[in-house]
Amino acid sequence: MKPIRLGVNVDHVATLRNARGGTHPDPLAAARLALANGADSITIHLREDRRHIRDADCRVMREALSAPINLEMAATAEMEAFAIALRPHACCLVPEHRAELTTEGGLDAAGQLEALAPVVASLNAAGIRVSLFLDPDLHQLEAAARLGARAVELHTGTFCEAVPDEARDRELARLQAAARKVDALGMECHAGHGLDYETAPLLAAIPEVVELNIGHFLMGQALFEGLPTAVSRMRSVMEAARS
Ligand code: PXP
């Protein structure tokens, strides 16, 4: 089986920092700790309202870290220009609504082919690996391939929120079928949203899934067991599921 990567999302370190308007806790310090304890890459979401990560955080991390940075962003002209100037390793295009608490649902790639095509093309041309954050719907995955995306990140929110019964089994089966389809279409399959120690291994066991991006649960766990332990524990449960 291909190895699996862990991307750690440090947005919520910035949420906590911003609550007091100072510099502590520092998202860069959290990123360094995550990388030292089993993360392969760092994910940051620059939202239109800058509620957590800010422009300067992106620049500081790009400068200071040699590990890959995955910049999540809406497919707007402002974000496209920002990403091209920043040149992160990867960009994950997500839908964004101002009032939402977190990213709700995947991008409608099939319904927005015309609007997304130039953004994907210019990020590709800048050498940035583009992934699209999609629900596990086959027609959305086909749209991602038509757009020239290098990867799809499957939205695992519905699966993670389903109570562990038939609904969860059904959602897991949808994710497994979607991962096979993404691979068959020649793109990398990533997954994320709402993953924890119980659900991440179920995704890590899908052979076509090669990257998980996890934030909120790890930052919450960091309060109780510390960030190094939370990240290394997540890494171990993923590796155990993979083998
Ligand atoms: N992947 C994407 C595209 C996201 O938008 C998010 C949430 O910011 C995540 C992964 C991480 O989700 P969580 O914070 O629930 O682990």
Query: For the chain, which domains are there?
Result: 5-242 (3.20.20.70)
Q: How far apart are CA 203 and CA 159, in angstroms?
A: 10
Q: Is the pLDDT of residue 99 over 70?
A: no
- What is the chain's Cα-based Rg? 17
* 105-136: pLDDT as tens digits: 899 999 999 999 999 999 999 999 999 999 99
Distance from the alpha carbon of residue 59 to the mean position of ligand 1, in angstroms: 20
> Does residue 216 have its Cβ closer than 6 Å to ligand 1?
yes
Whether 159 lines ligand 1, by a CB cut-off of 6 Å, is: no
- Residue 72 in contact with ligand 1 by CB distance below 6 A: yes
Place of tokens 């949808």: 174
pLDDT tens digits along 26-67: 999 999 999 999 999 999 999 999 999 999 999 999 999 999
- Residue range 204-241, pLDDT digits in tens: 999 999 999 999 999 999 999 999 999 999 999 999 99
> Nearest residue CA, atom 6 of ligand 1?
193
Per the annotation, the verdict on 45 as an active-site residue is yes
Active site residue 225: no
Please state the pTM of the whole predicted model.
0.97
CB atoms within 10 A of CB 72: 27
CA of 8 to the centre of ligand 1 (A): 9
User: Using omega within 30 degrees of 0 as the cis cutoff, is the peptide bond preceding 25 cis?
Assistant: yes
Which one of the listed residues 12, 72, 96, 153 is annotated catalytic?
A: 72
Helix (H) or strand (E) segment spanning residue 215: none
